[in-house]
Amino acid sequence: MGWNIISALVENKPGVLFRVSNMFRARNFNIESLSVGPTEQPDLSRITVTIDGDEHVTEQLVKQLRKLVDVVDVTRLAIADTVYRELVLLKLKAVDPNSRMEIINLANVFRGKVVDVSKSSIMVEITGTPDKIDAFKRLVEHYGVIQLARTGVSALPRGVVYE
Amino acid sequence: MVELTGSQALIRALEKEGTSVAFGMPGGANLPMYDELTRSNIRHVLVRHEQSAAHMADGYGRIKRKAGVCFATSGPGATNLVTGIGTAYMDSAPMVAITGQVPRAMIGRDAFQECDIIGICTSITKYCFQPRSAAEIPEIVKKGFYVAESGRPGPVLIDVPKDVQQEVQDVTFPELIRMRGYSPHIDPDIEQVERAVDLLLKAERPMIMAGGGVHISGAFHELQVLAEMLMIPVVTTFKGKGAFPENHSLALGPIGMHGHAEANKLIIESDVLLAIGARFSDRSVGKFEEFGQNMKIIHIDIDPAEIGKNKQVDVPVVGDVKASLRALVKMLTKRIVKKDGESNWIKHINEVREAMQSTYKDHPREITAKKSLKKLRELLPPEAIVTTEVGQCQMWTSLFFDVIHPGTFFSSTGLGTMGFGFPASIGAKAAKPEVPVVDIAGDGSFNMTENSLAVAVNDNFPVIVFLMNNQSLGMVAQWQRLFYDRRYIGIDLKGGPDFVKIADAYGAQGIRAQSMEELDKAIRTALKSDVATVIDIPIDPEEDVFPFVAPGTGLKDMITAA
């Protein structure tokens, strides 16, 4: 088993995300995360998929993606030569001032930001690799997670790449 | 640029693609395009159920090797097409299905006869289009045909909202289209071809497995040249049946669940397997993990995603079958050293074939499926087109009906759609009216789309339905007999109908053949007939199909008799 990041440039038009995600379902691929957004070219979107699967499954996923008419280009990113990041919003229980201070300190250690505070809660934003986000979550879980939202991984290869 | 309605643009675009016949049924949401058909030379064939329209377009497309066209209205019209579209998708048959849709402003509001047919068909089409303006239609139609017919062919859906059919816009018909995400691989990588040649020249027990890709690419001649050049025996998948003349001395027939005993036995003995336009389906190779452990595999396919999907291979060659075989033959011509005399492998092949012939035990009854099919072959000209329904009738055809002229046989091999054969035979007849077309049928399957008799009669498609009638869902009964200790349920079709009377009621010709003599006469009569003929042949409900590779087992576990 291996963790893989696959980056696909797709036509930026309605129905494309459905076609891609429907293919994953129909072909029995169990993906870990999927993120989608605009690129430097207005008519293309980038879909970033992470999958925990063996070589055979990952290779098939790449080929099945390439087969889709709306998919213009597919790259399997080499982890070592890739910058990949995910963003998490984590809303934690924080009723007493002590726990609030602890959470703020921990967020600072992780270069996170406090983005919202209420009488009984605190929301932290952290950007990083999925591992870093997992580590932070483990550290603060005992305060009580009220809500959590992760964006899925976004990734680009390092250096100059002409696609 | 011309001012046209969406419907005018659509029908004119179809004409530009060379569409001469379309199968379908009108309804509320496709009335405007049907109205436009009244001013077109495109021949419209009115079906009695949209499923049959899709099968007709499929049969037409497989014989023409061009997309067949079918029409249906929105909602139930469109959903009725689904089985036919799925059948074409699984067998890589080129098709353009055109549905009406509710007006743009009604989409998503659960309007009368609205359904999200694109959502339904996305995983059983190569692509789905929905023009949102009349001006988009010509380019969409051109792209639709290109996608349906090129690369690995398949069905394409064009879903046209009713108000888009009606609106008037300035329209241009493009000569060129650009699809940056779609470019089929045609020419093989020459290094891979070289590796394939190396393997083939070193092989001691080579074998060719020809699949449906040989039909699609029309590479019959190239396949025969290659096989004869290296004296390689040829098995086919069921979809590849007839890619190689089955009366050829190197032909071993189809492999698989109901493949020929000698083909199943010998393919697993080979040391180098050249798989051509085949996808290693479970029905062909049995257990994926078990198949091909002791052989090197070369796999030619136009679809890169087929390489390694079901079977890891040693030498992948991605490209069109015809182009790849030509490249192989060209390179082989330079490197081949002609060997004299018959190789040990060919001697062994011939011995096994002879030995296996004795394992086919015929049923004691005077008229059986096997004898009927042998008789049909005897009387049918080699250029006649044959298709089948699904079940025992299909598997008996695999075993006992030899296809002599390549490209004259097709069947619903992937989806296994009962009811496919009869409408598909009408489509084939529309594509090639000058040759006899036969649907080898069973009573269960034929019953599903027999209302196409109205089409065969009214639209003058004198096809022959060769109906082996065991008054049951025979293949299911066979499995219940073999795997469920004869606990029969849901297989009894003794209630009829009487298919001779059915044929008669539709104005077709119905003949019952209860002896080999009557069958001989019936086939001769049908071949001369200018109306569709149903030959009803009562056979024993307990006549089973053997040999048989039970599901989930390997080819070596083949059962040759009960």
Q: Is the pLDDT of residue B364 over 90?
A: no
Instruction: List the CATH number of the domain containing A139.
Output: 3.30.70.1150
| Structural domain count, chain B | 3
Residue B297: inside a domain: yes
Better pLDDT: B509 or B258: B509
Among residues 149-208 of chain B, which lie with CB inside 8 Å of chain A? 179-182
Q: Which two tokens stand for residue B186?
A: 């045609």
Tell me the chain B residues in contact with residue A15 when contact means C-beta distances shorter than 8 Å.
118
Report DSSP state, residue B75. Answer: T
Query: Against a cut of 0.80, is the pTM above it?
Result: yes
Is the pLDDT score of A163 beyond 60?
no
Domain contains A44: yes
**B86 and B50, same domain (yes or no):** yes
Amino acid at B559: I
- B335 shares its domain with B469: no
Distance (Å, whole) CA B532 – CA B509: 6
Confidence band, pLDDT 50/70/90 cuts, at residue B340: low
B162 is catalytic: yes
Q: What is the C-alpha to C-alpha distance for residues B488 and B481, in angstroms, rounded to an integer?
A: 8
For residue B404, give both structure tokens: 């002599």
Lowest mean pLDDT among B192-196, B309-313, B453-457: B309-313
The range of the structural domain enclosing residue B281 comes to 190-357
Residue B30 in any domain: the answer is yes
Q: Give the pLDDT mean for B212-217.
A: 97
Mean pLDDT of chain A: 95
Domain membership of residue A59 (yes or no) is yes
Domain count, chain A: 2
Q: Is residue B29 pLDDT above 60, yes or no?
A: yes
Question: Does B119 reach chain A within 8 Å, measured CB to CB?
Answer: yes
Domain assignment present for residue B180? The answer is no
Q: Give yes or no for a contact between B538 and B523, defined as CB atoms under 8 angstroms apart.
A: no
pLDDT tens across B163-175, in order? 999 999 999 999 9
pLDDT at B261 over 60: yes
How many Cβ atoms from other residues are within 10 Å of residue B449's Cβ?
29
Q: What is the pLDDT of residue B56?
A: 98
A47 & A6 share domain = yes
**Residue B1: is its pLDDT beyond 90?**
no
Name the active-site residue from B15, B17, B106, B113: B113
Helix axes B190-202, B321-335, angle to 10 degrees: 60
Tokens for A157?
A: 């290869």
Instruction: Provide the residue range defining the domain that includes A134.
Output: 83-155
B517 or B343: whose pLDDT is higher?
B517
Residue B357 CB coordination number (10 Å): 11
Catalytic residue (one of B475, B499, B543, B548): B475
C-alpha span between B245 and B251 (Å, rounded)? 7
Which residues lie across from A44 on neighbouring strands? A11
Categorize the per-residue pLDDT at B556 as very low, low, confident or very high, splitting at 50, 70 and 90: confident
- Asked if residue A71 and residue A87 are part of one domain, the reply reads no
Q: Last residue of some domain: A77, A95, A120?
A: A77
Q: Are residues B352 and B379 in the same domain?
A: no
A45, A77, A109 — which closes off a domain?
A77
Beta strands at B95-101 and B155-161: parallel, antiparallel or unpaired: parallel
Does pLDDT of B245 surpass 90? yes
Cβ–Cβ < 8 Å for B283, B297: no
What 3-state DSSP class applies to A74? strand
With respect to residue B434, please indicate whether it lies within any of the assigned structural domains.
Answer: yes
- Provide the percentage of residues in chain B whose pLDDT is more than 90: 90
A53 and A117 co-located in one domain: no
Which of B112, B179, B483, B501 is catalytic? The answer is B112
Domain annotation covers residue A161: no
Last residue of a domain, one of A40, A62, A77: A77
Last residue of a domain, one of B117, B141, B171: B171
B558 catalytic residue (yes or no): no
Same domain flag for B286 and B342: yes
Residues A85-140 have pLDDT tens digits of 999 999 999 999 999 999 999 999 999 999 999 999 999 999 999 999 999 999 99
Q: With the C-alpha atoms ordered B538, B544, B546, B549, is the resulting torsion angle positive or negative? A: positive
- Same-domain status, B341 and B399: no
Residue A163 lies in a domain: no
| A157 touches A75 (CB < 8 A) | yes
Structure confidence at residue B22 (pLDDT)? 98
Calculate the alpha carbon distances from B486 to A156, B396, B479 in Å. 61, 21, 9
Interface of B with A in 473-532 (CB under 8 A): none
Average pLDDT (A26-40) is 95
- Type of residue found at A12: N
Which of helix, strand or coil describes residue B484? coil
The tokens for B234 are: 């040829």
Cβ of B181 and A68 within 8 Å?
yes
What residues of A are in the B interface, CB distance below 8 Å? 10-11, 15, 18-19, 22-23, 26, 56, 59-60, 63-64, 66-72
Identify whether residues B16 and B137 lie together within a single domain: yes
Q: Do A22 and B147 touch (CB under 8 A)?
A: no
Say yes or no: B154 and B71 in one domain.
yes
- Give a yes or no: residue B183 inside a domain: no
| B119 and B18 within one domain | yes
Angle at B404 between CA B401 and CA B408, to 5 degrees: 85
Residue B120's closest chain A neighbor by CA? A22
CATH number for the domain harbouring residue B379: 3.40.50.970
Question: Does residue B125 sit in helix, strand or coil?
Answer: coil
A50 lies in the same domain as A108: no
Nearest CA to CA, how far is A27 from chain B (Å)? Answer: 9
Task: Report pLDDT digits (tens) over B87-126.
Answer: 999 999 999 999 999 999 999 999 999 999 999 999 999 9
Q: Is B467 helix (H, G, I), strand (E, B) or coil?
A: strand
Tell me, yes or no, whether A72 and A97 share the same domain: no
In a domain, A162, yes or no: no
Average pLDDT over residues B434-447: 98
Say if B303 is an interface residue toward chain A (CB within 8 Å). Answer: yes
* B552 is a domain residue: no
- Domain end point (choices B331, B357, B383): B357
Contacts of A18 in chain B (CB under 8 A): 119, 122
Contact A69/B309, CB-based, under 8 Å? no
Residue B553 lies in a domain: no
Residue B237 domain flag: yes
User: Has B112 been annotated as catalytic?
Assistant: yes
- Same domain? For B526 and B391 the reply is yes
Chain B residue closest to A64 (CA)?
Answer: B305
More confident residue, A160 or B367: B367
- Do A90 and A63 reside in the same domain of the chain? no
Q: Give the bridge partners for B253, in sequence order.
A: B235
Tell me the CATH number at A66: 3.30.70.260
* A70 plus A8 within the same structural domain: yes
> What is the interface pTM, i.e. ipTM, of the complex?
0.90
